[in-house]
Amino acid sequence: MNVNTLHPLPLGGAAVEDGFWADRQRLNREVLIPDGARRLEAAGNLHNLRVAAGRAEGDFRGLLFADSDVYKWLEAAGHELARRPSDSLARQADALIELIAAAQEPSGYLNTYYQLVRPRERFANLAWDHELYCAGHLIQAAVAHARGRGDEALLAVARRFADHLDAVFGPGRRPGTSGHPEIELALVDLFRLTGERRYLALASFFVDQRGQGLLQPASFGASYFADHVAVRSQSEIAGHAVRALYLAAGVTDLYLETGEERLLEVMRAQWEDMAARKTYLTGAVGAHHRDEAFGAAYELPPDRCYGETCAVIASIMWNWRMLLATGEARHADLLERTLYNGFLAGFALDGGAYAYVNPLQVREGAPAHVRHPWFPCACCPPNVMRLLAGLHGYLATADAGGLQIHQYAGATLRAGEIAVRVRTDYPWDGRVEVEVLDAPAGDWTLSLRVPAWCGEARVDGVPVAAGEYAQLQTPDERVVLELPMRPRLTAPHPRIDAVRGCLAIERGPLVYCLEAADAPAGTSVDDLVLDPAGSLEDLPRPDLLDGIVAVTATASHRRADGWDGGGWPYAELRPGSPGRGDGPPVSVLAVPYALWGNRGPGAMRVWVPALTG
């Protein structure tokens, strides 16, 4: 029983044609994916597979989940080959798939770390050792190649492993679940592709095993890997952010295939907890460095924001599934915010480096936050690649009544008899033109998301409400949506202690920031105070960061000599205590947060103290 409210477009139903995301998909194809293959070679991930396949000698290299990076890269390649053929990429992928098949044991087991390092301890360390996590990524890669380009070589490997897992785990067999979720959503997807209900049942089994304390040792507490409570009783989002969100995506997938209402209820409750109390303005999640975890409600420090790129991607994955389940615009809204801010900040403009952590503030003199070409724990880079390669899949959905456009990009979208071409310079410009290329003979509905950030949108000149879908019944050949892109000041909930008294600049779906590179001469980003009464203006800057619309604002500069506490940073409150921003007004330039850190190290802040009184 499939209970989707909305359905993904069929394979090939969406294609980004031009504009903002076309540039990024091209960068992914030309820079990120080829570089990723070289990095996997250099880091030893492929070496491990060769040794397991008996084609090389040597010790295991890298972290124990090194295989998963290979699978995520392969999944990206699968999406990319489905998007647009490439003989060289296909050859590269095929060779890798052949190597993976050779590394697989006759039993179906496949995990080079356990094969090479701890052969007698398989499935003995499910809490920490990522065997099922790696299996999940293998399955996702296999599904991508099978569905995307009809190549089932990797699928055969993945099914053998899945069948092995099914023989080991399950009711009446071995108990257990994975310390790092991922296998759940992968098994549901394998079920969707193959129709084999065993895979769905195994996903369900792994979900049911949680909350029983099976995952030990729980060094960071059982909530770290969502084992503190049964899934059907968990109403708050908690724990390690990537783990929590991969699991949520898998549980939502399970709901989509089983229709079990309780699953959707807890997913809604967790999502509302996350959105209302545990998400940064950029869509980033994960406030703690130590355990890479969600913090308490409203615990959202901008400087110590962890906001791991993988967690941001996981949030996009979950929001997409919640959108399919409910059809509610709020999920597409948060997906948009996360995509344009938290996610985009995760890689450099030139594709040469990645961020693992995505803070909203870096102080002057703090250790430089720089993106890195690769990481010893390289989970994020191939995650960026697979998201970009499959990005068009998030643009639109279909239902029996028509087509829903959730994200605006220069693209062609097809569902059944409906085909449209979208033209836009989004996110710089809010005009979106939808040309109807094909339409069914009878009535149909074109639904256009009007983002909640938007005040006064219009469709063909007629005002439409924000935060929901404008529904156009059997539209004309051409529809024009206008989303006003005026810059705006955003205030935080008063319980978010860490940014009290601050404001952020937003424009359309983009969060902006101040960077040291743009600070007026003689000022420091750390000492600028925003004047909320000042003007806020667009400033197109085709010369900056590959072309942006910047925003100018009015600020004053706190005098460095204004502090009278001497060598102690706390002083008795007296009338006229300093720190209110008492310098002359200056004009400051804000740039999209997503593009920060592309001009060398330096201070940056999204939340800027506001002039008060």
Q: What are phi and psi of 333, to 5 degrees?
A: -60, -50
The one catalytic residue among 131, 257, 292, 308: 292
Site string for a second copy, 484-523 (x = CB under 8 A): ----xxxxxxxxxxxxxxxxx-------------------
Q: Please enumerate, as own/partner, the contacts of 43-50 that have beta carbons within 8 Å and a separation of 24 or more.
A: 43/69, 43/374, 43/376, 43/378, 45/69, 45/70, 46/70, 46/96, 46/99, 48/112, 48/113, 48/116, 49/99, 49/100, 49/102, 49/103, 49/112, 50/99, 50/103
Q: Does 579 bind a second copy (CB under 8 A)?
A: yes
Q: Which residues contact 261 (CB under 8 A, 6 or more apart)?
A: none
The residue within the footprint of a second copy, chosen from 87, 88, 461, 568 (CB under 8 A), is 568
Q: Does 220 bind a second copy (CB under 8 A)?
A: no
Number of residues in the chain: 613
Do residues 405 and 422 make contact, with C-beta atoms less than 8 angstroms apart? yes
The residue within the footprint of a second copy, chosen from 418, 558, 588, 597 (CB under 8 A), is 558
Helix (H, G, I), strand (E, B) or coil at 473: strand
Closest listed residue to residue 82, CA positions, set 95, 93, 71, 96 = 93
> Catalytic residue at 292?
yes
The interface region with a second copy, picked from 81-89, 203-211, 441-449, 524-532 by CB under 8 A, is 524-532
Interatomic CA distance for residues 556 and 523, integer angstroms: 9
Of 165 and 503, the one with the shorter C-beta distance to a second copy is: 503
The residue within the footprint of a second copy, chosen from 27, 99, 101, 366 (CB under 8 A), is 366
The interface region with a second copy, picked from 50-58, 164-172, 274-282, 443-451 by CB under 8 A, is 274-282
Using CB atoms within 10 Å of the CB of residue 205, give its burial: 0 to 12 exposed, 13 to 18 middle, 19+ buried.
buried
In the complex, the smallest distance separating the C-beta of residue 364 from a second copy, rounded to whole angstroms, is 8
The one catalytic residue among 134, 305, 310, 379: 379
> Catalytic residue at 305?
no
The residue within the footprint of a second copy, chosen from 416, 562, 583, 585 (CB under 8 A), is 562
Do residues 208 and 278 make contact, with C-beta atoms less than 8 angstroms apart? no
Of 509 and 609, the one with the shorter C-beta distance to a second copy is: 609
Residues 383-422 touching a second copy, rule: CB under 8 A, are: none
In the complex, the smallest distance separating the C-beta of residue 223 from a second copy, rounded to whole angstroms, is 9
Residue type, 474: T
Q: Does 301 bind a second copy (CB under 8 A)?
A: yes
The interface region with a second copy, picked from 54-62, 101-109, 186-194, 272-280 by CB under 8 A, is 272-280
Interatomic CA distance for residues 490 and 506, integer angstroms: 7
The residue within the footprint of a second copy, chosen from 180, 304, 423, 557 (CB under 8 A), is 304
Q: Does 567 bind a second copy (CB under 8 A)?
A: yes
In the complex, the smallest distance separating the C-beta of residue 498 from a second copy, rounded to whole angstroms, is 5
The residue within the footprint of a second copy, chosen from 53, 297, 419, 586 (CB under 8 A), is 297
Interatomic CA distance for residues 505 and 511, integer angstroms: 6
Which of the 8 DSSP states describes residue 64? T
Q: Does 98 bind a second copy (CB under 8 A)?
A: no
Helix (H, G, I), strand (E, B) or coil at 398: strand
In what helix (H) or strand (E) does residue 26 lie, and over which residues does it extend?
helix 20-27
Instruction: Kindly give the interhelix angle for 329-337 and 309-326, rounded to the nearest 10 degrees.
Output: 160
Number of residues engaging a second copy in binding (CB under 8 A): 63
Rg from Cα positions in the chain: 25
- The answer, yes or no, to whether the previous bond of 106 is cis (omega within 30 of 0) is no
The residue within the footprint of a second copy, chosen from 526, 555, 557, 592 (CB under 8 A), is 526
In the complex, the smallest distance separating the C-beta of residue 490 from a second copy, rounded to whole angstroms, is 5
Binding positions for a second copy, rule: CB under 8 A: 221, 272, 275-277, 279, 281, 288-290, 296-299, 301-304, 330, 361, 363, 365-367, 452, 488-504, 526-527, 532, 558, 562-563, 565, 567-573, 577-579, 607, 609, 612-613
Catalytic residue numbers read 292, 379
